[in-house]
């Protein structure tokens, strides 16, 4: 054990400040070299972690902010949401039914807050970082959303006011990302503090904080027993003595990168004594106030100190602990800097252990456990792998009945029973989910039940990137082997029932709606089949997906940085095949790929260049030159293939360029693509009109740009629509756009606050339907089944929703020709897919029938003619195609010819001919 006492008197304090200043200067002089080292560590390490929070934050920011701007205009959201509210109050909905949730109902999502009602601890409040506030009235067994109409859904901290238990405060903005180097990482931006005075049922923005740049990132709110409220924000510590109506800055930290993150109030202190921590990536410090925040002293500030969390022992308010990560300049960036203990309320601190401690478990508190202990190879500790994620996941909690029992959290959870002298593993993020020790990784909070006594009440709650979890035996034996997932007896169970805060990046759906697949932040790729609940079918940060339209038992999924896989089901058995082993490029964090609409076995993948696979991903060919170099920011961002012509592929870029590849089927790694820069921003989607292959729509997600764009010449030239006037699109990120199959003048667009519709070719826009929270919609799908048209929205923070469109006329199927003629040899196998000769303007599934098909042939309801005819001659049949209400027919003509004979009078050589007519119908 190593103990170093830190006593900061006035002279020592001044000297330490001078030392830290000089260290800071030297650190910044070496920032370029340090960034390069972090970069190498980042890419080496990213595949070893449960997910990549820095990549996710960078992706989120790059979609929205130009390279010259890092400030999100939060007032754009409030203006647009107020207009949306006004629209729904003045207009009855004639275009669609209210949105309905499709789940997931059991997956959860990134959660940083959880609070109890002090009068009734069965009432619990929690919040998703982009999914708003949720409430449970039965101890977490079930949840429901209570804040869907907030101007900002990025709730990261909650506080119940002790003097008014019906009053809850919610702070917005995920500030742990602020100042993150290497990638231009940015968390979900907030907009102030909200208050409910009726147990969370209704919420109002605190006007002082709304659209106030000091409250864009409210990292922590704490309410004292006397009703005083404190908030840690990007600019410092703020205090309110009227439960949020007015605020005073009591500790200015606007010059410290990242501002303040933590606030803890000493139990039973009068006046309120506080410890706060500020800073993360460059330098950090812990400050103390013993006079309700009037004056402050730095009490813990060391070289390479990064984000630091704090916890008092409820049973002994003089005992307090701190867990500090290294900043970006430490020898093991974001791994453990030090674990500290104080026995005088935080004025003086002992360093209990750090990254050089004799106990290797103590060293790994904030690192990736299975990686550090090399659990899949040598199973031995690897000191050089200590770099971790303490800037992102970092928590500390003390048992209310035992001042020496301390919990810390990083990627995994650890517990010490001797005051932090020694830690042992209490969870396994990489374990089989059937094992009791499994709990989702990336931990942000641990909270004991208010009545916890370790005997009659034993509940302990944890929140992480997988939602909300619980243990009822948190004092049980800990792991004896860090690579044996069964060696810990502490058991964990998810409490995500109806807690729908899953963050989707993308999604896919079968035409009949029987299967949905979507990629999510740190919850992998989720799938829903029929009436079953969603299930995970692929890990990591789920990304783009695709379902084979000819064979829904074949799907394609991906995770971060273009890690693609093909999944097939056969007789109920799922087989996963890696299909990017031949992909030698790099990509943005969430890399776009699509199935070719003209060939369901061809895939297109956009990285720094365009790539093509002709065999369902088994082999890949680079189809263009690299138009970008890997800098963690730039790359290709969207793909679209022209219906009927796979040589024409349009590709969007992060810099506003749209590339037009006119020889995509023969292009190579040396083929350049001409481009047209339509905006100073990020091309988030490109989609062709299924009824007019020369009409294309695109979206731009960067603030300050026109967000909807059209081309009438297959992408040669572009013009903006809906960017001016009283019915213009709001200046908010747009992520997807669809041209309606039933009407080429009707568009649907997905934005950061929901879905909008235009029925006049994009000139004017209105919110589509009520019932969808003010949440970012990343992907929309137009689907039709049983003559009913639905729009499905994959959201970043509230799962998946659907609405039924009510204004869609039905159109009859349209045959591409009136007579289908086929010639085949006698007794040869015939196979004709008649669905390729029909296009339904609505996209309806067609059913085929015929009463006069020649003997030897059969016709499936899906339009497949197959069989053989053994009599020479010409045969005709009338084939009907119907959508269930309207139908059309074609004449099928089949001519049977003799088998060819060999010359010279020898034995006849018969060759069986398989005739497969594949003329792609338009999509």
What's the pLDDT score for residue 913? Answer: 32
Which pLDDT tens digit goes with each residue over 177-235? 998 876 566 678 999 999 999 999 999 999 999 999 999 999 999 999 999 999 999 99
Residue 491 to residue 428: CA distance in whole angstroms: 10
Q: What are the strands of the beta sheet with 274-278, ordered from one edge? A: 260-265, 274-278, 285-289, 297-300
Rg, Å, the chain Cα set: 30
What's the pLDDT score for residue 706? Answer: 97
Residue 285 to residue 298: CA distance in whole angstroms: 7
Query: Given a cut of 70, is residue 449 above it in pLDDT?
Result: yes
Residue 895 to residue 458: CA distance in whole angstroms: 80
Residue 16 φ then ψ, to 5°: -65, -40
- Calculate the alpha carbon distances from 824 to 541, 871, 909 in Å: 51, 11, 17
What is the H or E stretch that residue 36 is in? helix 31-45
Residue 733's nearest CA partner among 720, 749, 722 is 749
Higher pLDDT, 48 or 560: 560
Which pLDDT tens digit goes with each residue over 741-772? 889 999 999 999 999 999 999 999 999 999 99
**Sign (positive/negative) of CA torsion 483, 55, 219, 307?**
positive
What's the pLDDT score for residue 344? Answer: 98
Query: Given a cut of 50, is residue 128 above it in pLDDT?
Result: yes
Residue 47 to residue 536: CA distance in whole angstroms: 18
- Calculate the alpha carbon distances from 442 to 50, 57, 131, 383, 480 in Å: 8, 14, 18, 21, 22
Residue 355 to residue 302: CA distance in whole angstroms: 14
What's the pLDDT score for residue 820? Answer: 92
What's the pLDDT score for residue 234? Answer: 96
Q: Where are the beta strands (DSSP E) in 63-160?
A: 100-103, 111-116, 124-128, 132-136, 144-145, 155-160
What's the pLDDT score for residue 23? Answer: 30
Query: Given a cut of 70, is residue 18 above it in pLDDT?
Result: no
What's the pLDDT score for residue 674? Answer: 97
Enumerate residues 6+ apart whose C-beta is below 8 A from 887: 812, 813, 880, 881
Query: Given a cut of 90, is residue 652 above it in pLDDT?
Result: yes
Burial class (CB in 10 A: 0-12, 13-18, 19+), 130: buried
Query: Given a cut of 50, is residue 28 above it in pLDDT?
Result: no
Enumerate residues 6+ apart whose C-beta is below 8 A from 120: none
Residue 162 to residue 168: CA distance in whole angstroms: 10
In the structure encoding, which two tokens stand for residue 64, read together? 């929205």
Quote the longest CA-to-CA distance of the chain.
114
Is residue 448 within 8 A of residue 381, CB to CB? The reply is: no
Number of H helices, E strands in the chain: 6, 67
What's the pLDDT score for residue 901? Answer: 67
Residue 21 to residue 282: CA distance in whole angstroms: 11
Average pLDDT for 156-172: 97
Residue 136 to residue 881: CA distance in whole angstroms: 51
CB count, 10 Å around CB of 475? 17
Query: Given a cut of 90, is residue 43 above it in pLDDT?
Result: no
Residue 836 φ then ψ, to 5°: -70, -10
What's the pLDDT score for residue 70? Answer: 72
| CA-angle at 230, arms to 225 and 235, nearest 5° | 170
What's the pLDDT score for residue 839? Answer: 86
- Coil, helix or strand for 718? coil
Higher pLDDT, 811 or 142: 142
Is residue 731 within 8 A of residue 703, CB to CB? The reply is: yes
Enumerate residues 6+ apart whose C-beta is below 8 A from 408: 323, 339, 365, 395, 396, 414, 415, 416, 423
Is residue 849 within 8 A of residue 748, CB to CB? The reply is: no
Query: Given a cut of 70, is residue 447 above it in pLDDT?
Result: yes
Average pLDDT for 617-638: 92
52 pLDDT tier (thresholds 50, 70, 90): low
Average pLDDT for 904-914: 35
Residue 844 to residue 38: CA distance in whole angstroms: 52
Q: What are the strands of the beta sheet with 887-897, ordered from one edge? A: 819-825, 887-897, 873-882, 847-849
User: What count of residues does the chain have?
Assistant: 923
Helix-helix angle 31-45:10-29, to 10 degrees: 80
Please write down the HEC assignment for all residues of 160-210. Answer: ECCCCCCCEEEEECCHHHCCCCCCCCCCCCCCCEEEECCCCCCCEECCCCC
Average pLDDT for 59-80: 87
Average pLDDT for 281-303: 97
What's the pLDDT score for residue 183? Answer: 58
Residue 84's nearest CA partner among 94, 76, 72 is 76
Which pLDDT tens digit goes with each residue over 225-274? 999 999 999 999 999 999 999 999 999 999 999 999 999 999 999 999 99
Is residue 483 within 8 A of residue 499, CB to CB? The reply is: no
CB count, 10 Å around CB of 889? 16
Burial class (CB in 10 A: 0-12, 13-18, 19+), 171: buried
Residue 748 to residue 735: CA distance in whole angstroms: 11
Is residue 408 within 8 A of residue 396, CB to CB? The reply is: yes
Mean model confidence pLDDT for the chain: 90
Residue 650 to residue 632: CA distance in whole angstroms: 22
Query: Given a cut of 70, is residue 377 above it in pLDDT?
Result: yes
Average pLDDT for 469-478: 97
Q: What is the pTM of this model?
A: 0.90
What is the H or E stretch that residue 360 is in? helix 360-363
Is residue 308 within 8 A of residue 324, CB to CB? The reply is: yes
Query: Given a cut of 80, is residue 13 above it in pLDDT?
Result: no
CB count, 10 Å around CB of 303? 18
Residue 788's nearest CA partner among 652, 884, 646 is 884
């Amino acid at each position: 054990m190593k103990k170093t006492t830190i006593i900061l008197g006035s002279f020592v304090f001044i000297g330490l400040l001078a030392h830290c200043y000089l260290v800071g200067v030297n650190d910044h002089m070496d920032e370029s070299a340090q960034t390069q080292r972090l970069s190498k560590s980042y890419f080496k390490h990213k595949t070893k972690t449960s997910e990549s929070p820095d990549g996710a934050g960078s992706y989120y920011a790059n979609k929205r902010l130009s390279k010259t701007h890092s400030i999100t205009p939060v007032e754009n959201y409030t203006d647009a949401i107020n207009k949306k509210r006004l629209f729904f109050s003045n207009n009855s909905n004639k275009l669609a039914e209210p949105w309905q949730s499709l789940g997931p109902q059991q997956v959860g999502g990134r959660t940083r807050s959880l609070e109890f009602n002090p009068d009734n601890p069965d009432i619990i409040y929690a919040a998703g970082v982009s999914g708003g506030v949720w409430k449970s009235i039965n101890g977490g067994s079930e949840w429901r959303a209570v804040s869907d109409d907030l101007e900002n859904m990025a709730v990261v901290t909650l506080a119940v006011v002790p003097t008014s238990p019906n009053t809850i405060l919610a702070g917005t903005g995920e500030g742990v990302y602020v100042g993150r180097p290497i990638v231009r990482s940015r968390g979900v931006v907030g907009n102030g503090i909200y208050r409910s005075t009726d147990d969370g049922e209704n919420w109002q923005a605190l006007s002082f904080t709304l659209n106030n740049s000091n409250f864009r990132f409210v990292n922590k709110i704490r309410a004292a027993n006397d009703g005083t409220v404190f908030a840690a924000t990007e600019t410092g510590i703020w205090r309110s003595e009227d439960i949020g109506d007015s605020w005073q800055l009591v500790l200015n930290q606007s010059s410290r990168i990242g501002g303040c993150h933590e606030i803890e109030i000493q139990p039973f202190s009068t006046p309120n004594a506080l410890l706060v921590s500020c800073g993360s990536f460059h330098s950090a410090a812990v400050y103390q106030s013993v006079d309700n925040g009037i004056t402050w002293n730095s009490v813990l500030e060391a070289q390479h100190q990064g984000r630091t969390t704090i916890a008092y022992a409820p049973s002994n308010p003089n005992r307090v602990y701190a867990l500090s990560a290294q900043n970006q300049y430490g020898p093991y960036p974001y791994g453990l800097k030090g674990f500290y203990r104080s026995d005088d309320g935080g004025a003086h601190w002992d360093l209990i252990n750090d990254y050089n401690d004799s106990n290797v478990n103590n060293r790994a508190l904030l690192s990736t456990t299975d990686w550090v202990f090399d659990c899949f190879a040598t199973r031995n500790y690897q000191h050089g792998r200590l770099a971790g994620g303490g800037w992102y996941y970092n928590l500390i909690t003390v048992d209310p009945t035992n001042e020496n029992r301390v919990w810390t959290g990083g990627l995994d959870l650890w517990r010490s029973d001797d005051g932090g002298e020694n830690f042992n593993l209490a969870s396994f993020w990489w374990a089989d989910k059937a094992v009791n020790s499994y709990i989702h990784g990336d931990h942000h909070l641990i909270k004991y039940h208010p009545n916890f006594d370790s005997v009659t009440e034993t509940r302990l709650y944890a929140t992480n990137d997988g939602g909300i979890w619980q243990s009822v035996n948190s004092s049980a034996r800990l792991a004896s082997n860090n690579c044996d997932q069964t060696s810990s007896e502490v058991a964990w169970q998810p409490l995500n029932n109806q807690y729908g805060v899953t963050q989707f990046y993308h999604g896919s759906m079968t035409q009949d709606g029987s299967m949905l697949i979507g990629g999510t932040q740190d919850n992998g790729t989720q799938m829903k089949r029929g009436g079953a609940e969603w299930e995970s079918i692929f890990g990591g940060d789920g990304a783009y997906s695709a379902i084979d339209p000819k064979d829904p038992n074949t799907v394609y999924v991906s995770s971060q940085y273009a890690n693609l896989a093909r999944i097939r089901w056969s007789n109920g058995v799922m087989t996963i095949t890696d299909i990017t082993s031949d992909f030698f490029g790099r990509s943005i964090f969430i890399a776009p790929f699509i199935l070719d609409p003209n060939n369901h076995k061809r895939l297109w993948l956009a990285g720094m260049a365009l790539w093509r696979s002709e065999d369902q991903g088994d082999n890949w060919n680079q189809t263009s030159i690299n138009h970008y170099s890997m800098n963690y920011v730039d790359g290709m961002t969207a793909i679209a293939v022209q219906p009927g012509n796979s040589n024409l592929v349009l590709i969007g870029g992060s810099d506003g360029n749209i590339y037009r590849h006119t020889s995509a089927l023969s292009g190579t790694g040396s083929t350049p693509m001409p481009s047209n820069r339509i905006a100073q921003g990020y091309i988030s989607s490109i989609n062709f009109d299924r009824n007019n292959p020369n009409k294309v729509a695109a979206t731009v997600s960067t603030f300050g740009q026109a967000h909807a764009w059209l081309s009438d010449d297959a992408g040669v030239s572009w013009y903006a629509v809906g960017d001016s006037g009283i019915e213009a699109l709001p200046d908010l990120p747009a992520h997807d756009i669809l041209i309606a199959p039933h009407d080429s003048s009707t568009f649907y667009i997905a934005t950061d606050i929901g879905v909008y519709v235009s029925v006049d070719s994009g000139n004017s826009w209105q919110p589509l339907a009520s019932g969808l929270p003010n949440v970012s919609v990343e992907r929309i799908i137009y689907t039709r089944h049983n003559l009913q048209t639905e729009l499905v929205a994959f959201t970043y923070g509230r799962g998946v929703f659907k609405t039924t469109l009510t204004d869609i006329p039905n159109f009859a199927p349209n045959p591409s020709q009136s007579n289908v003629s086929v010639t085949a040899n006698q007794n040869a196998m015939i196979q004709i897919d008649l669905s390729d000769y029909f296009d339904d303007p609505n996209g309806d599934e067609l059913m085929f029938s015929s009463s006069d098909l020649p003997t030897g042939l059969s016709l499936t309801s899906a339009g497949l003619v197959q069989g053989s005819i053994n009599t020479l001659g010409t045969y005709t049949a009338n084939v009907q195609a119907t959508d269930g209400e309207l139908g059309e027919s074609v004449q099928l003509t089949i001519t049977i010819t003799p088998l060819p004979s060999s010359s010279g009078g020898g034995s006849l050589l018969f060759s069986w001919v398989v005739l497969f007519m594949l003329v792609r119908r338009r999509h």
